[in-house]
Structure 1
Amino acid sequence: MAAGFHCVGVGVSEERPKLPLELIAPAQLPWLRRLAARLLGRGLSHLQAQHRDSWFQGHASGQRTGHADGLREGYEEGRIDGYEAGRQVLVIRDTRPDAHAVPGLDDALFDDWRLALTAELKKRFKADVAQRLPAHAQPSAAQWKMIFSDTPSTCVIAGAGAGKSTSLVLRILLLRHYLGYELDAMTVVTFTRESRKDFINRLVQVFALWQLDLSQAQARELVRTFHSRILPLVRSLPGFSQVRAFETLGSEMPGGSEASAESNPFDLRINDAQRQQLNLCYRDLLGSSPRFAELIASLRREALQLKALDRDHPDVQKRVAVTQLSASRDEELCDTLEDLWFAAGAWPIKGIEPSRETVEINGSRFHFHGHIAELDAYVVLGFDPKENQQYKRPSAKLPVWAEWVIKRTLFQAFCDKPVIWLENYSAAKRLASSLAGDAVAGPGFDYKVKGELAAAPLLDAFVGAAGFIENLGLEVNTAVAAMSFPAGDNDALFFEALGLYWKALEAHLLGQSPPIMSYNRMFALFGENNPENLRLLPDPLLRPLAHLMIDEFQDVSPQIVSWLRACLREIRRRGPAMQVGRVAQHSSLLCVGDDWQSIYGWRGSSPKYFMEFAKEFPAPSSTRVMLADNYRSHQHIIDAAEHIVKSAPAISGKKARACGPAAETPVPVKVLERDEASLAETLLEHYRKGESVMLLYRKSSDKAAIADHLQALVNHEAGLPAAQRRLRQLTYHSAKGLQADAVFMLGDCQHLTNSPYKNQVYRQAGLGRNGDAQAFDNAQKDEVLRLAYVAITRAAKHCYWYVEKPTAEAANLPRASSQVDGRKVFFEDGREMARS
C-alpha cells in the first residue's frame, strides 16, 4: 500500500466463495460407468461415428480451460469490486510540512572550496625554492604548511623572528606563478609605511630570482595598508571621487591617491591643516548651539582653575612652614614675573583686568595678578619653562621658579577663591584668543579626560576620544548616549560636548570642496552595518580583496574586522559571476600574527579577533599553523620574554625555540637599576665591537635624559651613509618588527591610570571578560607585559633592561619588571631590591 494511505475496516474472509452450479466442474464418473463409456466410445470410433482422441482432448481441454478462465475472470472482477468498495473507508494523510521548503543558510564567509594544489605542483615548487633560495632561507615544515594551505581561511601564529615575511612572499609566488592567479585578485596588508616598504622590496627581489618581472608599481599595488585600500572604495561613490582623508590633510602628495594614504594614520598629533578645520567647525557650532556654548564655558572654567591639593600632602606640609616668609617677598615676586611676561609680549592680556588684589593664606597676604570677569576667576602668572631656570630676584636665595612653586602649593591647599594659574606664555596666548571671542583660534584651553596621562587642547582631546570610540566599531553619539558618570563629574560635560561637536564636524568636513572624511567613517560606510553600500561597488574594486593576506593581525580593531567581514560576505554573495574568465575564483583569508605582540589597545585594537579567529571568520574549513622556530634570538632571550608575558591570556601551546645561528652562545637578559651613564657606557662597548645597537625608551623625556651621554655617537652616526649606521633610538612601540645585536631598554612598562570612559565603551564593543567593570584597564595590565615582550625580542644576542624604582604613587600598580625572576638562568637581576 502506498505511503500515506492507511486501510481501515477492509477484511478478507477465510471461507472459499460458493459458485453457481454451472461454474462447478463435473465430478469424476464411477469406474464401471467409465469402463462402459470407454467401450462404447471405441465402438463408435470403429464405426467412424466419432473421433475418440478428439473427444477426450476437447472434453478435457474445454472443461479445464473454461474452469480456469472462469476462476480468473471471477477473481479479477471481485478484486476490482472489493478495491473500489475499500476505497470508501481509506483515510488519506499528507505528512509533508505546511510551510514551503527553504534551502538552509550557513554563516560562513567563504564558499566550500580548495586551492588546486597537486602533489606534482608542490614537488616542483619545493625543488625550485631549493635551487633558487640560499640554504638559510629554506622554509621549515611549518612554513611549508602555511605556504601550501589550501583552505579558504588560514590562521598563522608566528612569534618574534619566525620568518613569516619570507613565507608570505613564497605564498604570493605560488598563487601568481604556479597557479596563475591574477595580481589584482590579491592584497597583502601591512600596518606601517616602513614594513610595507621592506616587504615590497623583498617581494620584487624574490620574483626576480624566478626571472619574473614584477615592477615596483605592481608590488605597491599589491602590498597595501588598510587605509590605502579603503580610499578607492569611497572615491568610487558618486560625489566623492576627490574625497580627502582627514588624517592626511596637510601631508598629501600631489596627484596620488595611494600617496596620501601612505602617511601614518595612527599619528594622533594634529597639524595646522587639520586644526584649521577643527577650529572653523568649533566657531560655527559655538555660534549656532547655545547648549554647546554653555558646555564649553563650564569646561573652560574647570580646566583653567588651579587644582586643589590636600593639606596633608607632603609638599604642603613641607612648604606651609615658610608661608610668612613667602608672603613677605610676594609683591616683589609679582613685579619680577610681570616684568618677564611684559618683556615676552605676553602681558597685559586683553580680557584680563590687571589688578593686584590680595588673598589671605594662613594669616598672610598674597597677591593675584588680575581678574577675568567673564569667568569670575583670579589670575596668577607663572614662570615660563623657557626662561633661565637659575634666574633670581636681586638678593634672593632661591631662583624665581622655586619661589613661584612654593606660592602655587600654598594656593592649591589654602586659597578658597577660583584661581587660574597661567603656566606659560603659550597658554596665556590661547586664553587671550578665546577671551577675545576669536573662536576661529579654538577653545584656548587644555582638558584632561580621566584616564589620560596628560591634558590636551580641548579639540585634540575630542579627536582622541572620538577616534578610540570609532576604532571600536561604535558611533560616537550612540556610545555617548550609553555612558554614565557620577554627579558632578566634568567628563559628563566633556562627552556631551563631544557628541554635539563630532556630528557637526563630520557635516563640516563633508561640506568642504573637495569633501573630507575620516578613515574611521570610510570603514564604517562599508562595514557590516551598511552592506548596501558595498553593493554599489563595481567588481574590479572588490576583486583585490578576494584573496587577502594580512600581517600583524593581532593589532586589528573591531572597525577593521567589521569591514573585512562585510567585504568577504559581499564577494561570496556575488558568486562566480564576479570572476568570469579569470583563474582566481572564490575568496580566501590568510592572517599572520602573534597575540603576545598586541600592543595597540590604547587606540582601540584587540588581540581577541586573532585569538578567536575561527569564530570571528567562520569558514567551511580552515588551516591553523604554529611557527615556533625563532631565527633571530638565542634561547635565553626567548625564554626571558616569554616568562614576562606568561601571565597574560594567550593562544595555548606556544613555545618558541631558537634555530640556526641564533641558538648559539646564549647569555641572560640583564636587568639593572636605571643609570643613564652606565647604559651609555655599555652601549658604546657593543658599538665599538661592530655590533648593531638599539636604544628603546618609553617616553620622550627618557630620550632627553640620555641625550648628553650619547651625543658624540649620535653626531658620528649622522655623518655616515644610512646603510652604515648601527644605532637606532626608538620607542618600545615603534621598534616592533625591527632587530639589533644588542638592545638597551630604558624604562619600565607600567599601566599608570584608570579610564572610566574607556572601560564603558570597551564593554559596549563586547571586549573584555564578561561582567568586568574595568575591561579596558585590565586589558592594559596585560598589554604592558606584551610591550616588554616586544622590546626584549628585538635583541639577537644581548639585552639590557634599565628599570627605575617605582614612585610611591605607582608602587602598587602593575609593571612588567615585577615578573623578572633572578633565579631563572635566562635572567641576571642586578637591581638593589633583587639583592636585598
Structure 2
Amino acid sequence: MPQHTPDLPPELRPLAQMPLFKRLAARLFGHGLTRLRAQHRFSWLHGQADGFRSGHEAGVEYGYREGKRDGIEEGRQVLLIRDLRSDEHRAPGVDDRLFDDWRLPLTPDLKKRIKADVARLLPAHAQPSAAQWKMIFSDTPSTSVVAGAGAGKSTSLVLRILLLSHYLGFELSSMTVVTFTRESRKDFISKLMEILSLWGQPLGLKEAQAVVRTFHSRILPMVRSLPGFERLQAFENLHHGTYDDEADSNPFDLRINEAQRQQLNACYHGLYGRHACFRELIAPMARHALQLKELERDHPDVQKRVAVTELAAKRDEELCDVIEDLWLRAGAWPIKGIEPSRQRVEINGASFHCHGYSAELEAWVVLGFDARESPQLARPGAKLSVRAEWAVKRTLFQAFCRKPLIWLDNYESSKRLLSSLAGDTTSGPGFDYKVKGELASAPLLDCFVTAAGFIENLGLDVPTAVGQMSFAKDDPDRGFFEALSLFWKALEDHLLDQSPPIMTYNRMFSLFGENTPENLRLLSDGLLRPLSHLMIDEFQDVSPQIVAWIRASLHEIRRRGPAMHVGRGAQHSSLLCVGDDWQSIYGWRGSSPKYFMEFNKEFPSPSTTRVMLGENFRSHQHIIDAAEHIVKAAPAISGKKAKASGTAKALVPVQVLDRDEVALAQQLLAHYQRGDSVLMLYRKSSDKLLIQEHIQSVVNLDSSLPPAMRRLKQLTYHSAKGLQADAVFLLGDCQHLTRSPYKNQVYRMAGLGKDGDAEPYDNAQRDEVLRLAYVGITRAVSYCYWYVEGQEGQGANAPRASDRVAGGKSFFDDRRATKAR
C-alpha cells in the first residue's frame, strides 16, 4: 500500500504522481542535463521531496510524542466543571426572624456564683426550683414560660432582671416588664425594689416604675414624639379636671366616665346634625330599642295574667294616676317632646291607657314603676301592690298590643329620652340598644365603644371590618354596624380636633403596628430601647392588636442593628413571655391564648427556650386536680400537670352545692370567725346584691379594720386573677349563654378559630367558661365552695362548667340534691 504523501507543490511531487507528458519531458531533460553534467534535476527534485517527506514524518512523530507528554501534564491541572444547577430561578429567602442569632454569655462559673448569692440572700421559701432556674438562666433570644396557678413566677421574673442588670451589666433602660393590672404592677415594683436592694443595687420608686409598665404607658410616648402630638392625651385617661398619664388602664376594661361621655355625645350630635344617612340609620334603631318587646301569647306569664284582663282594665286609670304622681314627684314627668295626654288602647276588648305620645318617634309612651320605689307601695284598698299591678299591665301590652309603644321603665330612661328629644349636645342618643350576643342592653354610644373596641383589639379597622360583615336585610344589627362605621370615623377625627388632641390607645397601637412599619422609623433609639429586653406577664391575655405592635417594634430594633446599641451593655434584643393558657378569660374583649399556645410560630427566633413551671405553691393537690379536671376539656398546651409544693396541707375536696345564699353566708361567716382569709366571687353584679344582705355583718366588721388586716374580698371571677384566700366561695355557674353573629364574623376576619368553623368566637367562649371555673377554683389555698344554679331557666341547654364535675373523684364532693346529667 503506497505511503501517504503530504500535499506538495506540483514541482516537488514525485514523478510517479506527475501527468504522463510531464513525466516523459522530465526524464528527457534529466538525462540530457546529466550527460552534460550540469545538473541532476531528477535527483535534486526527488531528494528535496524525500527530505520534506521524512522531515514531516519525523516532526509529526516528535510533535505527537512531546505534545502527548505536555498534554498529560497539563491535563492534571484542568478542573472538570459540571453544571448541576436547576434551570428554575430562585430569589433569596426572607429573614422574618425578630431576633439576631445570639446567646446570653452565661458561663457555668457565673451560674454557680448567682445560685450561691441567691441561697445566701433570699429565705428558704423563696429559693427557685429547677424549672424556675431554667427560666432565669434562659440564654436564647426568646423564652416561653408556661406558669400555672400559684407557680411563683413573680420572684423568678425579678431574678431574671437581676441577672441581666447586676450580673451581665445590661442597662435597666433596655428592659420593660409588662403587667396587666394596677395591683400586679404595684406588687411587682415592690418586690423588684426589695430584691435589688439586697444585692446592693438600691432602686428608687420612679426608676422601678420606669421598668415595670403597662403596654399603654409604652405606646403613649411614641405617639407624643411625633410633630404636632407632643401634648396628645389618651381617651381612656380622660377625667374631668384632671388628666393622669400614669393611670394604669386595664386593656380589657373600658368603663366610660363623664369626661369621655362628653366627647362621645358631642361627636354624636355633630354627626347627627350634618349627616343625613346617619340620621336615617339612628331613627329605626331608636324606635326598635324603645319599643316594648313582644311576648308570645302562649308564654306562661301571659296565660296566667290574661284571665284578669277585665279586672286590670277597671283599675287602670287609678294605676295611671299613682304612677304619674310618682314620676311627677321624681321630676321625670312630663317630658318635653312628649304630649302628656292619655290615649285609650284596646286589649282583648278591654280599655287600657298610655300616658303620652311622641310625634318625633311616632310612638305611644307608657310610664313604668321605677325599681327605687318601695315594692310594698299599694293603692288604697287594693289587694296587689302597684308593682304587681304594673307587671300585669306590662305583660298584657307585650302580648296583645301591636301599636308602636315606648315603655319607660325608670326615671333615668326618662332623663335620657328628654335630653335626646331636646337636642341636648351634652347627652347621648337617649336610648339603649342590645347587640345580638351581648347579655344586656346599654346606652347606644356605650354599645358603639364596646363593639369598636372588640374589633380593634382583634387588630382590625372598624369601617373596613364593618364593610366585610353581612346581616339579614331586616336585622337591626345591620343598621347598628353601618352607623358604628360612620360614627367611629367621625369620633377619631373629632378627638384629634380637640386641643390638646386626643386618641384612643387602640389607634395608637395601630399607628405603630405591622401594617405601618414606616412610622416606627420615625422614633428615636431611646424610645425603642426599653423594648429591647421585653418580659410580659399574663401573656395569655394579650390581644392581636398588641401582638402586632410587639412584633413590629422587635423588627425595627433588629433592623437598626448594632448602631442602636453603641457603648451599651445590652447589645441585642430578647422576649420572655410568662403565661397560662388555662387562665385565658378575656376573649369577650378580644384577647386570645393562640399567641401563647403557638409562641414559636408567632415570634420566630433562631432559638427558643420553653419552660414548664409545674409546681403550685398555693393550693393543695385536691384543689389543683379538681380545677384541672374541669379545664382539661379545653384545647391547651400539651404536657401540663401541676403538683402541689411547699408546706403540706390537709386534702379537702372542692364542695359543689346547690345555690343557697343563706347557707353560703353561714359557711363564709364560720371561716371568717376562724381567722381565715375569704374570697367571695360572683358572676353578675346582681349576685353580689343578693348575697350582700346575708353577709352584711362580716362586710361591716371587715371594712372597719385597717386595710392590711382585712380578710374579706368580694370580686367577680374575672377580677380575681392573681389573688388567693384560705377559703374561696364561688357563687354561680360558668356558662356561655348567647351567640354573637358579629363577633363570629370578625373572629374569622382576624384569622382566629379553625378553618370552616362558622362560629369560631362562640366555640372559643365555650372553652373559656371552663377556664373561668379553673381560675375561680385555683384562688383557694385550702377550701373551695361552689354554689351552682339548677338547670332550669336561662341557659338551661347551654354547656356549663359544672357539667365537668366528676362525682366519683376524690377531689370533688358533689352535694347537690339534683345532680347535673
Structure 2: runs of 5 or more not aligned: 7-54
Separation in 2 of the partners of 1:92 and 1:822? 77
From 728, 731, 736, the equivalent of 2:721 is: 736
For 1:742-787, what per-residue CA distance to the aligned partner results, in whole angstroms no more than 9, with x for missing partners?
Answer: 1111111111111111111111111112111111111111111100
Counterpart for residue 11 of structure 2: none
TM-fit CA distance, 1:293: 0.7
Separation in 2 of the partners of 1:223 and 1:833? 49
The aligned amino acid for 2:312 is S
- In structure 2, the CA distance between the partners of 1:17 and 1:273, relative to structure 1 (3 Å rule), is farther
Q: Is the 8 A contact 1:208 1:214 kept in 2?
A: yes
Does residue 443 of the first structure (1) align with residue 443 of the second (2)? no
Give me the TM-score of the superposition, normalised by structure 2.
Answer: 0.90
TM-fit CA distance, 1:355: 2.0
Q: Is the 8 A contact 1:248 1:265 kept in 2?
A: no
Q: Is the 8 A contact 1:282 1:440 kept in 2?
A: no
The aligned amino acid for 2:768 is E
Q: Is the 8 A contact 1:471 1:603 kept in 2?
A: yes
- In structure 2, the CA distance between the partners of 1:828 and 1:103, relative to structure 1 (3 Å rule), is same
TM-fit CA distance, 1:173: 0.3
Does residue 285 of the first structure (1) align with residue 274 of the second (2)? no
The aligned amino acid for 1:281 is C
- In structure 2, the CA distance between the partners of 1:92 and 1:657, relative to structure 1 (3 Å rule), is closer
The aligned amino acid for 2:180 is F
Moved more, 741-750 or 592-601: 741-750
Does residue 307 of the first structure (1) align with residue 293 of the second (2)? yes
Separation in 1 of the partners of 2:596 and 2:250? 23
For 1:170-225, what per-residue CA distance to the aligned partner results, in whole angstroms no more than 9, with x for missing partners?
Answer: 11100000000000111111111110000000011111111211111111100111
- In structure 2, the CA distance between the partners of 1:753 and 1:252, relative to structure 1 (3 Å rule), is farther
1:76-155 aligned within 5 A: 103-155=92-144
For 1:28-47, what per-residue CA distance to the aligned partner results, in whole angstroms no more than 9, with x for missing partners?
Answer: xxxxxxxxxxxxxxxxxxxx
1:589-668 aligned within 5 A: 589-661=575-647, 663-668=648-653
SS of the residue 2:818 aligns to:
helix
SS of the residue 2:510 aligns to:
helix
Separation in 1 of the partners of 2:688 and 2:264? 31
The aligned amino acid for 2:724 is Q
Does residue 833 of the first structure (1) align with residue 818 of the second (2)? yes
Counterpart for residue 16 of structure 2: none
Separation in 1 of the partners of 2:525 and 2:614? 39
From 227, 235, 260, the equivalent of 1:238 is: 227
SS of the residue 2:715 aligns to:
strand
Counterpart for residue 334 of structure 1: 320
For 1:717-763, what per-residue CA distance to the aligned partner results, in whole angstroms no more than 9, with x for missing partners?
Answer: 12211111111111111110011111111111111111111111111
Does residue 166 of the first structure (1) align with residue 150 of the second (2)? no
Separation in 2 of the partners of 1:271 and 1:293? 25
Moved more, 709-718 or 571-580: 709-718
1:234-633 aligned within 5 A: 234-250=223-239, 257=245, 259-260=246-247, 262-633=248-619
- In structure 2, the CA distance between the partners of 1:436 and 1:253, relative to structure 1 (3 Å rule), is closer
Counterpart for residue 778 of structure 2: 793
Separation in 2 of the partners of 1:73 and 1:153? 74
The aligned amino acid for 2:754 is R
Counterpart for residue 757 of structure 1: 742
- In structure 2, the CA distance between the partners of 1:454 and 1:76, relative to structure 1 (3 Å rule), is same
Separation in 2 of the partners of 1:311 and 1:739? 49
The aligned amino acid for 1:636 is H
For 1:550-605, what per-residue CA distance to the aligned partner results, in whole angstroms no more than 9, with x for missing partners?
Answer: 00000000000000010011111111111111111111100000000000000000
For 1:468-502, what per-residue CA distance to the aligned partner results, in whole angstroms no more than 9, with x for missing partners?
Answer: 00000000001100111112100000000000000
The aligned amino acid for 1:655 is K
SS of the residue 2:719 aligns to:
coil
Q: Give aligned-pair identity as a percent.
A: 71
Counterpart for residue 719 of structure 1: 704
For 1:596-644, what per-residue CA distance to the aligned partner results, in whole angstroms no more than 9, with x for missing partners?
Answer: 0000000000000000000100111111110101110000000000011
Does residue 770 of the first structure (1) align with residue 755 of the second (2)? yes
TM-fit CA distance, 1:92: 11
For 1:788-826, what per-residue CA distance to the aligned partner results, in whole angstroms no more than 9, with x for missing partners?
Answer: 100100011111111121333411101111111121000
Separation in 2 of the partners of 1:737 and 1:17? 109
The aligned amino acid for 1:666 is L
Counterpart for residue 685 of structure 2: 700
Paired residues in the alignment total 764
Counterpart for residue 44 of structure 1: none
Separation in 2 of the partners of 1:488 and 1:537? 48
The aligned amino acid for 1:219 is A
TM-fit CA distance, 1:440: 3.7
Q: Is the 8 A contact 1:551 1:593 kept in 2?
A: yes
Q: Is the 8 A contact 2:231 2:500 kept in 1?
A: yes
SS of the residue 1:799 aligns to:
strand
Separation in 1 of the partners of 2:104 and 2:314? 86
Q: Is the 8 A contact 1:306 1:419 kept in 2?
A: yes
Counterpart for residue 804 of structure 2: 819
Q: Is the 8 A contact 1:571 1:587 kept in 2?
A: yes
Counterpart for residue 195 of structure 2: 206
Q: Is the 8 A contact 2:240 2:258 kept in 1?
A: no
Q: Is the 8 A contact 2:180 2:251 kept in 1?
A: no
TM-fit CA distance, 1:96: 7.6
For 1:426-456, what per-residue CA distance to the aligned partner results, in whole angstroms no more than 9, with x for missing partners?
Answer: 1111111211222442211111111111111
- In structure 2, the CA distance between the partners of 1:455 and 1:785, relative to structure 1 (3 Å rule), is same
Structure 1: runs of 5 or more not aligned: 1-14, 19-65
SS of the residue 2:728 aligns to:
strand
Moved more, 532-541 or 212-221: 212-221
For 1:650-698, what per-residue CA distance to the aligned partner results, in whole angstroms no more than 9, with x for missing partners?
Answer: 111100000121x432110011111112111111211222211111111
- In structure 2, the CA distance between the partners of 1:17 and 1:519, relative to structure 1 (3 Å rule), is farther
Separation in 1 of the partners of 2:67 and 2:442? 103
SS of the residue 2:695 aligns to:
helix
SS of the residue 2:143 aligns to:
strand
SS of the residue 2:193 aligns to:
helix
Q: Is the 8 A contact 1:509 1:515 kept in 2?
A: yes
TM-fit CA distance, 1:354: 1.8
- In structure 2, the CA distance between the partners of 1:111 and 1:253, relative to structure 1 (3 Å rule), is farther
TM-fit CA distance, 1:834: 2.9
The aligned amino acid for 1:222 is V
- In structure 2, the CA distance between the partners of 1:122 and 1:94, relative to structure 1 (3 Å rule), is closer
- In structure 2, the CA distance between the partners of 1:265 and 1:621, relative to structure 1 (3 Å rule), is closer
SS of the residue 1:541 aligns to:
helix
The aligned amino acid for 1:589 is L
Q: Is the 8 A contact 1:633 1:795 kept in 2?
A: yes
The aligned amino acid for 2:209 is R
Separation in 1 of the partners of 2:252 and 2:358? 39
TM-fit CA distance, 1:251: 7.0
- In structure 2, the CA distance between the partners of 1:184 and 1:695, relative to structure 1 (3 Å rule), is same
Separation in 1 of the partners of 2:118 and 2:355? 77
Separation in 2 of the partners of 1:640 and 1:78? 93
Separation in 1 of the partners of 2:121 and 2:81? 76
Separation in 1 of the partners of 2:168 and 2:82? 56
Separation in 1 of the partners of 2:121 and 2:242? 38
Q: Is the 8 A contact 1:628 1:654 kept in 2?
A: yes
Moved more, 435-444 or 606-615: 435-444
Give me the TM-score of the superposition, normalised by structure 1.
Answer: 0.88
Separation in 2 of the partners of 1:770 and 1:100? 33
SS of the residue 1:717 aligns to:
helix
Separation in 2 of the partners of 1:162 and 1:581? 38
The aligned amino acid for 1:601 is G
